[in-house]
Structure 1
Amino acid sequence: MTDGKRRRGLAAASALLGGVLVLSACTGGGEDDSAGGDETSQTTVDKAAAEKASEAQIKITPKDGSANASINNSAAVTVSKGTLTEVTMATVDGTEVSGEISADKTSWKPSGQLERSTTYKVTATAQDSEGRAAHENASFTTVSPANSFIGTFTPDDGTTVGVGMPVSINFDKEITNKADVQKGVTVTSSSGQEVACHWFSTQRMDCRPEDYWQAGSTVTLKLALDGVEGAEGVYGVQQKTVSFTIGRNQVSYVDAKTKQMKVTRDGKTVKTIPISAGSPENKTYEGQMVISEKFKETRMNGATVGFTDDDGEGEYDIKDVPHAMRLSTSGTFIHGNYWGAKSIFGNANTSHGCVGLADTKGADDPNTPGSWFYENSMVGDVVVVQNTGDRTIAPDNGLNGWNMDWAQWKAGSAL
């Protein structure tokens, strides 16, 4: 072999041997580890990657990236094939949300209601039966006020009210899917009375039985509106149950012709009080009216209800009307009157449409008819006004749906 051929042969052998060495090093097959730091590190990584992962499977709801999430029940963390060891939830600005892991350590939920239009981040850690950890993270944004609706209801939870008090719900958005919303509202009574709901508008729904509530019964309102679409892209956020008690049965009858009011309990007259109703020029509405508010003293300005003089000022402005109880949204009250002559009560109708009872300035004399009626009345009591010569009050003017017969009332249901 010539020198040139020998050199080419050695070069080829060296290249082949070099290739073998490279392949050997890549598989970690060297015998001497003393100079193989990279080999030891790679072996450790390989072993770690080969270990079996945790079997714990964490689920966070709502799913990562969700928008328009519920402020009630959407946030939750659950785990299968393991137990939760830590869950944290906070707003994007770092405000932490309190919550609690269940006794069996398989679920977690926030302690209270979330805020609307808020982004939350959830971080969860769990371990399986062998103690191996699993991790999960998610973020979501709750429904905005613009994309949600709430219903303001009366009466309040835990109150005691008169037999005429309906459940009245006023929504802060127009409801076009009335049937879906009504399905989410349930009103029941311990008396077993049938209850029907009536839509007065796209934003108001009242519920009542055919006749007044039975005295002593308990009425329960359940709102299951969370996630209910009230209008396109507008969802409910309420989920709660409230109840109120019906007090004694008190119905008072105002007769504008005799100018007397009979106060009855369970159908029996307990007191007769002289009154002064609306004058012939300003007659009082007729019909069944429910006391919706009580004020020991209040201001009454004629300008607020359309009674103005030539200068646009109110025909009256009394800043301390005693023992006033509202009967309509439009301004009908039954109240004490200290400015009128005592002789008008029982003898003349002189008011601008309210029902007046003799009283004293300051609302501090317990012996006046106005004080007696105030102290013996509650929100929800019924005042029936008769023989005024005026029209019957509109059912939606105050809490006065009793002025609609049962067939008409039920016809206003969306179901």
Structure 2
Amino acid sequence: MGNGRRARRAAAALLVGGVMLLGTACSSSSSGGSSGGSTDAKGGGSSSASDAAPKVSTAQLTVTPADGAADVAPKDGLQVAVASGKLTAVTVTDKNGKAVAGEIAADGLSWKPGEQLAVGTTYTVNAQAVDSAGLVAASTTTFTTLTPAKKIATNDNIADNGQYGVGMIVSVNFSKAVQNKAAVLAGITVEGADGTVAKGHWFGSSRLDFRPENYWKPGTKVTVKYRLKNVEVSPGVYGDVDKDEPFTIGRYQVSTVDAATHKMTVSRGGSDTQVIPITAGNDQNPSWNGTMVVATKEKMTRMNSATVSNIKGDEYDVPDVPHAMRLTTSGTYVHGNYWSSAFGSTNASHGCIGVSDAKGGSDSSAAGKFFNSSMVGDVVKIVNSKGQTVSGDNGLSGWTIPWSKW
């Protein structure tokens, strides 16, 4: 009897075990099953490792501007930061995949671009960081920089691939006043292929001139590089140009006018010199002293005292002045003169440097030969005049300013 009861209990146990095993197998099926596959209403039992909630990094990334932002300032408008962690990687690219330079700070808590962003451009920011447990947090956002509503026009005195004298000064003029002068100055470089660098000097708020410490070397290839399109030159106003503008320095020619001896010595390097009789400004209208540069050349021009300030004595109006080369904006020229005989003997002009010529201009005259041997950028230095020293912004006369003050 006892053995029979034990056998019946064992059989019942096997039957229950079979149901439990069957229920376990059915519970793994995605299809609906018998009630044998239901879980305990109280949620009893242990969970597998794969069912555990994943661990999340405590590092908190913040990208400024926010995802989808528009009209973002190209300067100081982008920053990536992290709390409770360290940045491991930050990449910022435009739609063409071009990356923006930048570095993660030494403490690993922030990143800023190392260059100014482009205007009117959409960027994608991908940032990654880790917390103290080594868990990674990542973020991907996009934003678009502003498209300027206002721009400033930029103009200079350089022609692409032009050739100029050794004293050439690059003069950049802006259509509006510039407030952020340092930013604009950083956006323009003038450099020779031989490593010579021209430094910029502001005259007021809308003119920026560039020259090297000493005259350019003959044959030097120089490039003016503009990177202003993304520069805020004044509040809400941006530059208008990104381009390279190359030019070349020609042969050496520096002319020295001695108003006391009424002679001009033209040096073309080495022993190649020429002395030309001239007439400079009279005592009432003395010529400027100082180093000037040929800014323009005109085979024939009209000169009228009404266009020149502070002229003393008789007025004049000469409609056909030949072989004229402008030195200052105030009206100083080296030009041909067919109406005087004062060359080499006295100063009789209203401030200009007169050289003997024929009416209508003759290429065989002293003035004609000097004109044809000259180019824009040549240096003309006037000494021993009774006049004052020319100011640096009167024409291309920046050479009169000491390098220490340039």
Trace 1:190-201 onto structure 2 (pairs within 5 A). Answer: 190-201=193-204
1:297 and 1:201 map into 2 onto residues whose CA distance is: 32
Q: 1:276 and 1:180 mapped to 2: Cα distance?
A: 45
Measure the CA separation in 2 of the matches of 1:277 and 1:213.
Answer: 28
1:336 equivalenced with 2:336 (yes/no): yes
Within the candidate set 269, 274, 288, 1:271 is matched to: 274
Distance change (3 Å), C-alpha of 1:235 and 1:276: same
Query: What is the distance in 2 between the residues matched to 1:224 and 1:141?
Result: 17
- Quote how far apart the aligned CAs of 1:143 are: 3.6
> 1:353: which partner in 2?
351
Distance 1:269 1:281 in 2: 35
CA contact (8 A) 1:262 1:269 kept: no
Partner of 2:401: 404
SS at match of 1:155: coil
Q: CA deviation at 1:194?
A: 3.4
Mark the CA change 1:287 to 1:193 in structure 2 (over 3 Å): closer, same or farther.
Answer: same
CA separation of 1:201/1:309 partners in 2, compared to 1, >3 Å: closer, same or farther? Answer: closer
Deviations 1:353-374 (A, max 9, x none): 00000001111x2211110110
- How do residues 254-269 of structure 1 correspond to structure 2 at under 5 angstroms? 254-269=257-272
TM-score by length of 2: 0.64
Counterpart CA distance in 2 for 1:304 and 1:317 is: 10
CA distance in 1, matches of 2:300, 2:405: 37
Can you give the 5+ residue segments of structure 1 that lack an aligned partner in the other structure?
Answer: 1-62, 70-75, 80-118, 120-139, 410-415
Deviation at 1:151, TM superposition (A): 1.6
CA distance in 1, matches of 2:196, 2:241: 25
AA of the residue aligned to 2:339: W
Q: Is the 8 A contact 1:250 1:382 kept in 2?
A: yes
Aligned runs of 1:269-348 on 2, under 5 Å? Answer: 269-306=272-309, 315-341=315-341, 344-348=342-346
Aligned to 2:244: 241
2:305 and 2:320 mapped to 1: Cα distance?
A: 14
Give the secondary structure class of the aligned counterpart of 1:297.
Answer: strand
CA displacement 1:292-325 (0-9 Å, x = unmatched): 0000000000001036799xxx810111100000
CA RMSD of aligned residues (A): 2.5
Question: Matches of 1:336 and 1:64 in 2, distance apart?
Answer: 64
Distance 2:254 2:267 in 1: 5
Asked whether the 8 Å contact 2:285–2:312 carries over to 1, the reply is: no
Separation in 2, partners of 1:309, 1:377:
30
Distance across 2 between alignment mates of 1:219 and 1:78: 31
Q: Is the contact made by 1:67 and 1:142 (CA closer than 8 Å) also made in structure 2? A: no
Find the aligned partners of 1:228 and 1:279 in 2 and give their Cα distance: 48
Q: 2:254 aligns with which of 251, 255, 280?
A: 251
Structure 1 residues 198 and 78 mapped into 2: Cα distance closer, same or farther (>3 Å)?
Answer: closer
Alignment of 1:3-18 (within 5 A): none
CA distance in 2, matches of 1:336, 1:349: 15
Amino acid at match of 1:232: P
- Paired residues, number: 275
Q: 1:159 aligns to what?
A: 162
SS of corresponding position for 2:391: coil
Residue 168 of structure 1 deviates from its aligned partner by 1.0
Which digits, 9 at most, give the CA deviation of each residue in 1:73-121, with x for residues without a partner? xxx9669xxxxxxxxxxxxxxxxxxxxxxxxxxxxxxxxxxxxxxx9xx
Q: 1:182 & 1:346 partners in 2: Cα distance? A: 45
| One-letter amino acid matched to 2:321 | V
**Paired residue for 1:13?**
none
In structure 2, do the counterparts of structure 1 residues 345 and 309 end up closer, same or farther at CA, with 3 Å as the change threshold? Answer: closer
Does the C-alpha gap of structure 1 residues 179 and 259 become closer, same or farther in structure 2, counting only changes over 3 Å?
same
| Equivalent-residue separation in structure 1 for 2:260 and 2:312 (angstroms) | 29
Distance of 2:337 and 2:382 partners within structure 1: 18
List per-residue Cα deviations over 1:253-282 (Å, max 9, x = no partner).
101111011110124343111000000111
Equivalent residues of 1:163, 1:249 under 8 A apart: yes
* CA distance 1:374–1:337, change in 2 (3 Å): same
Deviations 1:112-160 (A, max 9, x none): xxxxxxx9xxxxxxxxxxxxxxxxxxxx99644xx11122112211100
Match of 1:205 in 2: 208
Q: Distance in 2 between matches of 1:318 and 1:332?
A: 15
Structure-2 separation of matches of 1:149 and 1:219: 25
Given that residues 166 and 249 in structure 2 are in contact (C-alpha distance below 8 angstroms), is that contact kept between their aligned partners in structure 1? yes
CA contact (8 A) 2:151 2:239 kept: yes
Q: Distance in 2 between matches of 1:309 and 1:383?
A: 24
Within 5 Å, which residues of 2 pair with 1:123-134? none
Q: Contact between 1:155 and 1:165, CA under 8 Å: does it hold in 2?
A: no
Q: Give the SS at the match of 1:373.
A: helix
TM (normalized to structure 1)?
0.62
What per-residue deviation string (whole Å, max 9, x for no partner) do you get for residues 221-254 of structure 1? 1000012100111111210001100001100010
Shift, 1:190, TM fit: 1.4
Partner of residue 223, structure 2: 220
Q: SS at the partner of 1:268?
A: coil
Equivalents in 2 of 1:220, 1:156: separation in Å?
11
Distance 1:357 1:68 in 2: 57
